[in-house]
Amino acid sequence: MANDFKTENASKIAIKEEVGRSWTYKDLHLISNSYANKLLEIGVEKGDRVGILLYNCLEYFALYFAIAKIGAIAVRLNFRLTCSELEYALNDSQTKILCFHSNLAKQLEPIYNQVSVERYFCLQKNQDDDIPNWSEPWSVLESGPVDEITKNNINMNDPVMLMYTSGTTGRPKGAIWTHGTTLWFSSIQVMKWKFTGQEIGMTTGPLYHVGAMEDIALPILLMGGTVIITKSQGFEIKRILDVIEHENVTDCFLFPFMIYEMLNLSDIDDYKLKSLKTIYTGGDPLMPWALETLKKKFPHLGVVQVYGLTEGQPIAASLDPQDAFKKGHTVGKPMPLTEIKIIDENGEQLPPGEVGEIAIKSPGVSEGYWKNTAATLETFVNGWCKTGDLGKFDEEGYLTIAGRKKDMIRSGGENIYAAEIEDVLYRHDSIKDVAIIGIPDPKYIEAVCAVIVKKEGSQLTEEEVIDYCKKYLASYKKPKKVVFVNELPRTPSGKVQKFILRKQYS
């Protein structure tokens, strides 16, 4: 029986919300058993899809583990999706059961009877929130017995999760994660960073995203550590720093834009972050000025830059803290058990120094795309995941990212890589955020366009931006056009959605 559950960590805090509730390892195990048994009771079978449309909370972990325990497949949905986007994902995945937070009902109301979902379970975000009449209260899920799960018959190759890609290039695809993919990827991180179970890790992204759960959190739980869950809405870097100090966080994943906000705080010197040992960051390259400032203000901190993608192992390469200044323009070397190569258009491997497409092979790579044979065959070739990212290795084996294949600008016969120009512009004192895209040009086919978010109070002009680039870049690389905007469109993981900018300014 599950109420005899005993491990050395049974009474240790496993997961904790940034303010308020926490669950021990025993709590987490028994509550997930309860959910799992109820899902079995209502007819969920191995391979059925169960959707999770929740904000960050303790229940998210318990529900995900419950789905895994019975061999079903979790569909972790972005709560920022519109009605039509949710309709697409639910019908594409043929989701049978959907669990959602009460204040997300408005996104489901117009479509709840137009999708494959048979039953809905509503978790109240606030105590007095209404539960829609087409759904059932969360207490129904909680009513299952806490007995151990015996009806599962799960293999390592069985799917455990569908993760719809963040959509930097348009319509998302459902990347398939198996039990093996998940366990291997957690183990790879444990091998690399030598987690011992003494860590207090903190997620700062939404749990539907691999950057918040699979990165750092699951491997820390695997080893018996504690994970702090930050709330989903109203991101404030000051609040994040306060939580780090209050909870004695040792390991934290911060996306680059979060680090930039942190270092631009007027009172950043008031924070000591003594417990924090490592900041992991990825999604976009961390600009050199940020590394320099972090080292100056927090010399005890190690900064690990990582590179990866949902389907091609979320952390496929990492740069060790001791290499941050010598090789800070790179994302480091492949993770344990991970192979990376650079290939040309024909799939042939390129030598160091040459830019080509990055391909990844490891036990942490996705099995393919859900119900999309064409995309699977195009992306996954002979065990390798073709990432769509451009990069190159140097002679010492460090990987540099040159941008997305679609981000490469072909102008006047020259290949221009957006990341190089963005690196230069991020160093400008008046620039807060920037994205480089190619726009049509009657003479050169494509021209460089800089889309810039100015720092507050800046009077920066287009001419000043172009003149600044002339100092650091070959003339053909400088922007021909500069556009100033209030913010850049980004995915939840912080990646700029350049396809939106290209459409807007083409």
Q: Are residues 425 and 307 part of one domain?
A: no
Q: Are residues 289 and 200 part of one domain?
A: yes
CATH code: domain of residue 457:
3.30.300.30
Q: Are residues 70 and 131 part of one domain?
A: yes
Cα separation, 305 vs 312, in Å, equals: 17
Output the six-digit token pair for 2. 């599950």
Q: Are residues 116 and 80 part of one domain?
A: yes
- Give how many domains the chain has, as a whole number: 3
Q: Are residues 219 and 337 part of one domain?
A: yes
Q: Are residues 140 and 63 part of one domain?
A: yes
The reply to whether 265 falls in a domain is yes
Q: Are residues 384 and 302 part of one domain?
A: yes
Q: Are residues 501 and 397 part of one domain?
A: no
Query: Of the residues 384, 404, 424, which one is the last residue of a structural domain?
Result: 404
How would you label 282-302 residue by residue, b for 16+ Cβ within 10 Å and e otherwise? Answer: bbbbbbeebbebbeeebeeeb
The reply to whether 174 falls in a domain is no
The reply to whether 48 falls in a domain is yes
pLDDT tens figures, 262-306: 998 999 999 999 999 999 998 766 778 888 899 999 999 999 999
| Cβ atoms of 428 and 464 closer than 8 Å | no
Cα separation, 161 vs 207, in Å, equals: 13
471 pLDDT tier (thresholds 50, 70, 90): confident
Cα separation, 196 vs 16, in Å, equals: 19
The reply to whether 267 falls in a domain is yes
Q: Are residues 377 and 277 part of one domain?
A: yes
Q: Are residues 293 and 188 part of one domain?
A: yes
Please, which residues have CB within 8 angstroms of residue 413's CB and are 6 or more apart in sequence? Answer: none
H helices of 101-145, in order, are: 105-108, 138-142
pLDDT tens figures, 158-203: 999 998 875 444 467 899 999 999 999 999 999 999 999 999 999 9
CA 435 centroid distance within chain = 19
CATH code: domain of residue 370:
3.40.50.12780
Asked if residue 504 has pLDDT above 50, the reply is yes
The reply to whether 16 falls in a domain is no
Q: Can you tell me whether residue 449 is helix, strand or coil?
A: strand
CA angle 147, 151, 152 (to 5 degrees): 115
The reply to whether 67 falls in a domain is yes
pLDDT tens figures, 312-335: 999 999 999 999 889 988 899 999
| Cβ atoms of 480 and 447 closer than 8 Å | yes
Whole-number mean pLDDT of the chain? 91
The reply to whether 165 falls in a domain is no
Asked if residue 3 has pLDDT above 60, the reply is no
What local confidence, expressed as pLDDT, does residue 412 receive? 65
Q: Are residues 417 and 398 part of one domain?
A: no
pLDDT tens figures, 32-71: 999 999 999 999 999 999 999 999 999 999 999 999 999 9
Rounded to the nearest 10 degrees, what angle do helices 256-263 and 288-297 cross at?
50
CATH code: domain of residue 143:
3.40.50.980
Asked if residue 408 has pLDDT above 80, the reply is no
Q: β-pairing, 73-76 with 159-164?
A: parallel
Q: Are residues 229 and 369 part of one domain?
A: yes
| Cβ atoms of 63 and 54 closer than 8 Å | yes
Domain that holds residue 480: 408-505
The reply to whether 166 falls in a domain is no
DSSP strand E in 247-398: where? 251-253, 278-281, 302-307, 317-319, 333-334, 339-343, 356-361, 380-381, 384-393
